Amino acid sequence: MDVQSVAAPAIAYGGPAVAVAGGLSFLFLKTYLSQQRANPNRLPSLPVVPGVPLLGNLLELKEKKPYKTFTKWAETYGPIYSIKTGATSMVVVNSNDLAKEAMVTKFDSISTRKLSKALRILTADKTMVAMSDYDDYHKTVKRNILTSILGPAARKKHRAHRDTMAENLSSQLHALAPRSSHEPINLRKLFQSELFTLALKQVFGKDIDSLYVDDLGVTMPREEVFQVLVLDPMMGAIEVDWRDFFPYLKWIPNTGFENKIEQMYIRREAVMKALIQEHTKRIHSGENLNSYLDYLLSEAQPLTEKQLLMSLWEPIIETADTTMVTTEWAMYELARNPKRQDRLYEEIRNVCGSEKITEEKLCKMPYLSAVFHETLRRHSPVSIIPLRYVHENTVLGGYHVPAGTELAINIYGCNMEKEIWENPEEWNPERFLAENEPIDLQRTMAFGGGNECVPGLCKRCCLLVWASVEWFRSSSGGLMMILVKT
C-alpha cells in the first residue's frame, strides 16, 4: 500500500480533529481562568454528590420529601455540599451554624429568591413577604403585616378573635368527644375551620358562610372558598415543571402544567376580589370592621391591585395551614406520649384550675411552650426554606460558592443535627426546659430562623393544643389517637 495514500486521508481527517481538540482546550482554559478569577483566594471547592450526566441528582430526588434525602447525604458528604439538579448547581446546607452564616453573615450575597415556575405564578412573581427578594417592596409589605397582624399592638387588637376561636373549639369538642378513650378522633377539619375563620376575621373583619364570585359567576360554599385559597395553592406549590431544571429548554411548551397552575391563580384572584367587594359593601353600610384590609387601604403605603390581593392572601394561607400542621403534629405526639400528656395536663390544671382559658396564662406554662417548640423542631411545617440565589461569589463554611448557584437550607436536616440535638429523632419537649442553661428558642429556625413567626404562630398553636388537651383529658380520660397526615 502506498504511504501517500494512507497519509492523505489521515491528514484530511486529522485537520478537523486537531481543530476540535484545540477548541476544547481553549474552552477548558477559558473556564479554568474564569474560575480562578472568581476564586482568587484558592478556597476549596464544595464536596460534590455524584450524579449522572445531564440529570445530575434529579433521579434521587424524585420523591416529594427531598429534605430526608438531603439529610441522608449529609452523613456522607458533610453538612454542606453541592448537587446538580439538571443544568443548575445547588448548594445544600444541613447545619445550624452554616444556615445562620448564610442567612445573617452572608445575607447580602444571597438575598434574592429562586422560585420554581409554579411558585412564580402562585406568588404573582414574588409579590408576598415569604417569597420576595430583600428590597424596598419586601420591607414595605413586611412592615405592613407586622404592624397590623403580628406586632404587639395588632395582636392586642385581634385578641377577641382568638378568644372566640378558643371558645368555639372547646364547645365543638364537646360535640365531638369520643364515647370511649380508645375511640380515634380526627381534629384536622375542626382546626382548619377555626383557623380559617380567624384568618378571615383578621384580614377582612368577618367570617363567611358562602361567597358569590362575580368573575366566575358562581356562589361558593365556605368549604370551596377554603379549597381555592388554601388547599389548592399548597398542592400547586409542590408541582414540578421539568423545565425548571433545564432553562435552555423553556421554549418547549408544557401546556398541562401551565394550565393547571394558571387556573389555580385565576380562581384564587377571583375569590380574593369577591372578598374585597363584600368588605366594601359592609363598609358602605356603616360597619366598622377594623381589619387588615382597612389598614392597607387607609394607613399603609399605596399598593397595586396585585400587591393588595397578595398581601391579603398571605396571612390567610399562613394562618390556616402552618398553624394547623404544627398543632396537628403536637396533638399526635401527645397522643403517643401519655406521660408527657399527663405532665402538660397537670400544668394546665395547676395554672387554670376551673377558670376560663385566657392568653395571659400562656407565660405561666413553660411546658406548653416547650411542646410547641419541640414540635416545630421535629415536624417543621417548612422543611426547606424557599430556594435562594447566590448572585455574587461568596464563601460559606470555608468553601467557595460561585455566583449563579442555588442555595437550599434544609431546616429538617438542621433540626436533626446530632451535634446540636441529643437523640434528634425523639420528640422530647424537655430539651427546651434544661435547667441552669439559657434555651435558644430560635434554634429550630422555623420559617427562616427569625422570630417573626413566634408571636402569631405560638399563640394560635398553644391555644389550640391547650383547649384540646384540657377538654379531652377532663372529659374522656385520655387522648389515645389523632389522625394526622403522613
Annotated binding site: 453
Q: How far apart are CA 37 and CA 98, in angstroms?
A: 25
Residue position matching grid coordinates 378513650: 181
Q: How far apart are CA 396 and CA 385, in angstroms?
A: 17
DSSP 277-290: HHHHHHHHTT----
399-401 and 80-85 strand pairing:
unpaired
Burial of 164 (0-12, 13-18, 19+ CB in 10 A): middle
The three cell numbers locating residue 328: 396537628
Q: How far apart are CA 460 and CA 201, in angstroms?
A: 14
Annotated binding site for heme: 453
Q: How far apart are CA 483 and CA 257, in angstroms?
A: 32
- Helix (H), strand (E) counts: the chain: 19, 9
User: Among residues 145, 170, 161, which one has the least CA distance to residue 197?
Assistant: 161
DSSP 215-254: TTTEEEEHHHHHIIIIIHHHHHHT---GGGG-GGGTTS--
